[in-house]
Amino acid sequence: MSDTSVSFRIDQELKDKAVDLFEQLGLSLSAAIQVFLRQAVREGGLPFEVTTRVPTDATIAAMLEAERISKDPEAVSYDTIEELLKNLKQ
C-alpha cells in the first residue's frame, strides 16, 4: 500500500481548534483524519450520527449540572441506582 496526498480547504479557526484538540489526544491532524477515514470505511458510512437536533435548554442545563457535580468533591454520590431513585422521589 502506498501513501497518497489529499488536499482540501478549511477555515483557519476550525483547523487551529482541531489541531489543538488532536494534539491533546496525542495525534497529528493527519493521523486524526486517517482515524476518521478508517472508521468511516469500517462503518460503511459516517462513524457518528449526523443530525440537525440541538439540545434543549433543559438538556444543556442538566449536562452543565452533571459536569459541575462531577468536579465537586462534596457532591452527593450513590452506591446503587436504587439509592439515587429513592432520593429523587423525596
CA distances from 6 to 9, 24, 30, 33, 54 (A): 10, 24, 10, 10, 32
Predicted TM-score of the model (pTM): 0.56
What are the backbone angles phi and psi of residue 53, rounded to the nearest 5°?
-65, 140
Q: What is the pLDDT of residue 8?
A: 92
Q: What is the pLDDT of residue 45?
A: 95
Convert the pLDDT of each residue in 3-15 to its tens digit.
899 999 999 999 9
Looking up cell 462531577, which residue turns up? 70
Rounded Cα gap, residues 29 and 7, in angstroms:
13
Rounded Cα gap, residues 63 and 55, in angstroms:
10
